[in-house]
């Protein structure tokens, strides 16, 4: 999922998909259901990266939030030259749905980890939906940088790196730990329905939740 035309930066493959779809116009009747002859393998029956079920933080694992934010900022600063190179090369970036400056991602997220629900700086967009956009911007910043810098296109590798190996990933798992014990229904919904951390394709829901929202 997320790869409707099959492969990024592969114009010929993308055109094959389009042509195969348009060729169905030649059929006499419809609707039609037709398989594309080529299949891109997926891992373990899942259509996207999924966090290992055992990789769950509790609130007692979070530690000093200021130190964690500082570590994330250091990580972000280190990635910046490669991120800028990626943007220059591609001529575009998907980072920015939140309209937050990159340097403000981690500090904003950390407020929620501290138990605050800050006032949203964006008119018409409440704080928690904005938080979700900041989280997605943070991940996009990392993965846009890495896919360009290392010339790799591997969603499993990207997910594992970001969520399991980076300080930013740990920051977000800390946010998840706070959310799951939150008495705010929207914060709880974010984790119940895997709207932030990628657990939809995990072998089991986040402990403490039922995944009943799905």
Partner 1 sequence: MWGWLCLWAVFIGFRIAETSNQQILLALSLHIFQRYILYLGYILGKFEVTKIAEMPAVGRGFISNLQLPTFEDPAWTTPVPASQRRVSIVSTAAVSRRGDKPFSWLAKDHRTFHKNDRDLVMTHVAVEFDRSAWQQDLNVIIPLDRLEEMAQDGEIGSVADEHYSFMGAADPVTMEKSAHAVAEQMKQEGVNTVFLIPI
Categorise residue 96: left if φ over 0, alpha if ψ from -120 to 50, beta otherwise.
left
Largest CA distance in the chain: 66
User: Is residue 143 part of the contact set for partner 1 (CB under 8 A)?
Assistant: yes
| Residue among 58, 59, 74, 94 that touches partner 1 (CB under 8 A) | 94
Helix (H) or strand (E) holding 178: helix 167-180
d(CA 180, CA 208): 8
Q: Which of residues 40-59 bind partner 1 (CB under 8 A)?
A: 40-50
User: Is residue 163 part of the contact set for partner 1 (CB under 8 A)?
Assistant: no
User: Is residue 149 part of the contact set for partner 1 (CB under 8 A)?
Assistant: no
| Residue among 54, 60, 64, 91 that touches partner 1 (CB under 8 A) | 91
Using the minimum distance from each CB to partner 1, give the nearer residue, 92 or 119.
92
| Residue among 113, 167, 178, 199 that touches partner 1 (CB under 8 A) | 199
Are the C-beta atoms of residues 200 and 51 closer than 8 Å to each other? no
Smallest distance, Å, CB 167 to partner 1?
19
User: Is residue 8 part of the contact set for partner 1 (CB under 8 A)?
Assistant: yes
Are the C-beta atoms of residues 48 and 201 closer than 8 Å to each other? yes
Q: Which of residues 110-129 bind partner 1 (CB under 8 A)?
A: 124-125, 129
Q: For residue 109, give the nearest of 167, 69, 51, 64 by alpha carbon.
A: 69
Q: Which of residues 179-198 bind partner 1 (CB under 8 A)?
A: 194-198
Token pair 């007692």: residue: 60
User: Is residue 78 part of the contact set for partner 1 (CB under 8 A)?
Assistant: no
């Amino acid at each position: 999922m997320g790869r409707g035309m099959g492969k990024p930066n592969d114009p010929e493959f993308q055109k094959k998909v389009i042509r195969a779809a348009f060729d169905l116009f030649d059929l006499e009747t419809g609707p039609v259901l037709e398989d594309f002859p080529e299949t891109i393998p997926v891992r373990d029956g899942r259509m996207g990266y999924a966090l290992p079920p055992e990789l769950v933080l509790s609130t007692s694992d979070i530690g000093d939030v200021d130190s964690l934010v500082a570590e994330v900022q250091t990580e972000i600063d280190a990635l910046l030259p490669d991120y800028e190179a990626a943007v220059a090369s591609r001529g575009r970036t998907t980072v920015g749905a939140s309209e937050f400056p990159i340097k403000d991602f981690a500090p904003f997220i950390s407020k929620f980890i501290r138990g605050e629900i800050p006032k949203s700086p964006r008119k018409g967009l409440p704080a928690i939906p904005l938080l979700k956009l900041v989280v997605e911007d943070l991940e996009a910043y990392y993965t846009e940088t890495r896919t360009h810098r290392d010339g790799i296109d591997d969603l499993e590798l990207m997910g594992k790196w970001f969520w399991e190996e980076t300080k930013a990933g740990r920051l977000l798992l800390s946010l998840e730990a706070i959310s799951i014990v939150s008495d705010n229904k929207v914060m709880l919904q974010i984790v119940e329905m895997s709207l932030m951390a990628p657990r939809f394709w995990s072998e089991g829901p986040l402990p403490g939740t039922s995944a009943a929202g799905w």
